[in-house]
Amino acid sequence: MNRLRQLGFATLMGLALPASAGEARWLIATASESVQAGALLTVEAIRPDNGPWPATLKLRLADAQGREETLVLQAGTTAEADSFRREYQATLPPRSRGLIRAELAERPSNRLALLAAAPREAAQAAQADPIDRMRQPDSASLDPIPENEPALSAHEPMYFVLGARDGADARFQLSFKYRIFDRESLPVRLLPLLGGLHIGYTQTSLWDLHGDSKPFRDTSYRPSLFWQGSLDTHHPLLPSYWRGGYEHESNGKDGNASRSIDTLFAQPVWRQDYANGSSLIFSPKFYGYLDKDENPDIARYRGYADWTIRYGHEQGWILGARLRQGTGGYASAQLDLSFPLRAPLFSRAGGFLHFQLFGGYGESLLDYNVRQDPTLRIGFSIVR
């Protein structure tokens, strides 16, 4: 009865709202007017024609204060080709509170009035079936800055790959980040921007498996302190998210082999979702050097930006590329191609066949001014 009542309400709302000439409206509805912040939101959509069903729908949310954000809904149930009704799902942002107006962002539709309650207590969440929680679709699975991630989460890709390069035939990377404050904590209530403050750590190693003692040729350690999040700007030309802060990078060695830099960085993130479920993410990382005494000419080889792009589908291939152009004309490029070997564990994590191609200067901090011929490595990744 709730679903029928809500569908009836949605239909009345759809008939009451004006539409541009020639535009047919979609109808959307939820099973109840009451929704749970931080929980799975299911929206039933009724299309106005018999065209193909999109893999995602964008839902625009606006609260009583006029703040807006866009939620990417993933297609849930399988629909028949001639069906006019299909369910879409996404996790409602944990900060959602009170009366919320919801409508489709890129298609004419009716508007829904939803009442968002506070997130469930931790004890109630712990009682949920963990398998069901893993099966819930993640609306930001390709995004390096997802909205609803846990406090401890993936940061950069984590992989182990092998190649045929003498002296550095294996490469692996570990990376994570931790959100310092809970979104419901007192500091965040007093200063909401503190909710996006993170510490991060990434470690990248080159390993000589053919050496007598199988030594590590070089290891880069990168702790960081940064802020990430949305600035509630929804102009199509403005970034979807931002990340910025301080990062230290060193190789932990002394003497002539010691390398170290300190940087301040800013990283805007643009994302475009397509009807087939694929996403394109462009996230250049711009940085300035605070300290580079041990390698004063590093900008000639690394430059002042990492040009990063990523395209693919969570259930299929994902291709990532990182390009660097130094001020001295030296450059490097890294390509990462991955494909899932198992069902995903959670956002961006699972088991993936991983191909990595690197060529140019600075594969490691030790060799920032040494040119490396193109090297292909193949292996396994758990975060991509």
What domains can be seen in the chain, in order of their start residue?
Answer: 2-117 (2.60.40.10), 152-383 (2.40.230.10)
Angle at 336 between CA 335 and CA 340, to 5 degrees: 160
Sign of CA dihedral 90, 96, 97, 102: negative
pTM to 2 decimal places: 0.64
DSSP string, 117-129: EPPPPHHHHHTS-
132: number of CA atoms within 13 Å, CB side?
A: 7
Per-residue pLDDT 10s for the chain (384 aa) are: 444 444 444 444 444 444 444 567 899 999 888 888 878 899 999 888 877 888 889 999 988 777 888 899 988 766 666 678 899 998 888 778 888 999 999 899 999 989 888 754 333 333 433 333 333 333 333 444 445 578 898 899 999 999 977 767 899 999 999 999 987 789 988 998 898 899 999 999 999 887 777 788 899 999 999 999 876 656 678 888 899 999 999 999 988 999 999 999 999 999 888 878 889 999 999 999 999 999 999 999 999 999 999 999 888 999 999 999 999 999 999 999 999 998 877 767 899 999 999 999 999 999 999 999 999 999 999 999
The dihedrals phi and psi of 299, each to the nearest 5 degrees, come to -65, -25
CB 70 within 8 A of CB 60: yes
